[in-house]
Amino acid sequence: FSPPILFRDIRELGKRQAHTAYGALVDVPNTPGCVDMLVAGTSCVDYSNLNNEKKTIEQKGESGQTFRGMMDWIKKAQPPIVILENVVGA
């Protein structure tokens, strides 16, 4: 597995540059047709059954920030394939 770019935090993709999983700062591709596929998962800390201080997506906790960051980038880049990971009952 050797993707050309693997980003560390989808919340950074709204910026001109973002950090890769390996720590490099690179330009963010964000125009239609710039990528073939997005595979992502949002943080589930705000929705976890183990969390006594749950937040909704509108409260902009960590989970809401990752989801909104992902959706903002999807609207810009319009990848033809989007795969979202979700854990049931975490």
> How many CB atoms are closer than 10 A to CB 77?
18
Matching residue, tokens 């973002």: 18
Helices (H), the chain: 62-77
34 part of the active site:
no
The residue from 5, 28, 40, 44 that is catalytic is 44
Of the candidates 10, 6, 8, the one whose C-alpha atom is nearest the C-alpha of residue 64 is 10
Strand partners, 39: 83
What residues act catalytically?
Answer: 44
